[in-house]
């Protein structure tokens, strides 16, 4: 099952390629050296340079021999036959040679680095930064050229990559999709994720579940995660917290409206872009949940997991709301509300402990406290949280 859409040249590009390949046909082979010479330049091929030179010498010799006589009837018999055969060979050989070169040149075009491609998104920077991959990192993932690693986690490895049109994207290579049932389920979950409104989320652009390493491609948000930001600069002030809470609650509302439960909402899955916070990795946790249950792995991050995730109850949108409240507490204090020491200790606090809400601005204390309710059916929805912040 293939969900990745191969990049194809435009109709105009193909038309130009066909006309270019037919030039030897239209010119009785006289344009053959020039078409092959252009291919040599495009492909940086010494072999094509030699071929173009051979064609040029042969055709040049035939033409000089032909113009030495005023009338075709004056050609000596052996020379006339050689000229005719030579022109026919150049004519047909040039057509065949050019026809073979067109697909070769198209493939080379699609493999070309982003800075050599002509069709670049006008909204992208005209000069791209230079990145260097670490040893062992892939050079290509599908038709995305890897620029550098962005990180590794339990679900997979994330890379900054260049799409065929030069746009920078985030490519996550997943480790746990080991059978066709898991891959099919993942494809369905990602199809749902692509329907999520994108005002506070990173768009899902592409997915490929074939091959040894399935991957998902999303919009690249240039900026640190909320976790990195808080670890480096400390807790957020009241205005920043309110903006963060409002935008992330809105993102969760959009995710839930699409029928998705994030299941791994945490500070590292909130990226702070130049235009505000963006939520990432929604839909992936549920897609991998089946594999983690059978393999014995834990799905989620302990300090941000809801009580129902720990007790094995049904996990729904209310679980994300609980994780959202813990994330807002982290942004306000610089530490998870239920600690981050041993897993049993964290789990015990999640199930029994009620954190101190005083570090939050007064406008957020009520709604965050309600979202931290141990009973999922008594928590407000993400939409309700958003409205409570506004009011």
- Residues identified as active-site: 264
Print burial letters for 140-150: b (CB count within 10 Å at least 16), e (below 16).
ebbbbbbbebe
Q: What CA–CA distance (Å, rounded) separates 368 from 336?
A: 14
Contact between 180 and 188 (Cβ < 8 Å): no
Q: What CA–CA distance (Å, rounded) separates 210 from 45?
A: 33
Distances in Å between the Cα of 196 and the Cα atoms of 5, 183, 200, 249, 282 are 20, 21, 10, 14, 9
CB atoms within 10 A of CB 10: 9
Contact between 53 and 60 (Cβ < 8 Å): no
CB atoms within 10 A of CB 342: 10
Helix (H, G, I), strand (E, B) or coil at 235: coil
Contact between 312 and 199 (Cβ < 8 Å): no
Segments in 46-179 forming alpha helices (H): 46-67, 77-111
Spacing of C-alpha 12 from chain mean position = 26
Q: Which two tokens stand for residue 4?
A: 């990745």
């Amino acid at each position: 099952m293939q969900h990745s859409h191969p990049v194809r040249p435009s109709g105009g590009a193909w038309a130009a390629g066909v006309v270019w390949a037919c030039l030897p046909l239209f010119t009785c082979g006289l344009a053959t050296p020039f078409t092959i010479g252009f291919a040599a330049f495009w492909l940086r091929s010494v072999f094509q340079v030699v071929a173009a030179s051979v064609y040029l010498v042969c055709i040049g010799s035939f033409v000089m021999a032909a113009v030495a006589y005023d009338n075709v009837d004056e050609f000596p018999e052996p020379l006339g036959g050689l000229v005719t055969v030579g022109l026919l060979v150049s004519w047909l050989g040039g057509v065949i040679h050019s026809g073979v070169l067109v697909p070769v040149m198209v493939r080379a075009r699609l493999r070309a680095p982003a800075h050599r491609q002509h069709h670049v998104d006008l909204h992208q920077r005209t000069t791209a930064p230079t990145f260097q991959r670490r040893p062992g990192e892939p050079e290509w993932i599908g038709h995305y050229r890897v620029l550098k690693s962005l990180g590794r986690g339990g679900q997979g490895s994330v890379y900054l990559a260049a799409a065929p049109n030069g746009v920078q994207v985030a490519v996550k290579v997943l480790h746990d999709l080991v059978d066709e049932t898991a891959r099919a389920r993942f494809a369905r979950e990602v199809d749902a994720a692509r329907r999520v409104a994108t005002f506070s989320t990173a768009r899902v652009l592409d997915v490929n579940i074939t091959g040894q390493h399935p991957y998902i491609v999303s919009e690249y948000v240039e900026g640190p995660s909320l976790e990195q930001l808080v670890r480096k600069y400390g807790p957020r002030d009241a205005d920043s917290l309110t903006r963060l809470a409002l935008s992330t609650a809105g993102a969760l509302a959009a995710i839930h409206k699409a029928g998705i439960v994030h299941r791994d909402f945490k500070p590292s899955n909130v990226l702070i872009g130049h235009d505000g916070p963006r939520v990432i990795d929604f839909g992936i946790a549920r897609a991998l949940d089946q594999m983690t249950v059978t393999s014995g792995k834990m799905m989620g991050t302990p300090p941000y997991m809801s009580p129902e995730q720990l007790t094995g109850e049904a996990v729904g949108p209310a679980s994300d709301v609980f994780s959202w409240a813990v994330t807002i507490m982290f942004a306000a204090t610089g530490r998870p509300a239920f600690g981050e020491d041993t897993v049993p200790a964290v789990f015990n606090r999640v199930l029994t402990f009620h954190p101190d809400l005083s570090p939050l601005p007064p406008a957020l204390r009520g709604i965050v406290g309600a979202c931290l309710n141990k009973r999922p059916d008594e928590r407000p929805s993400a939409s309700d949280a958003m409205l409570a912040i506004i009011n």
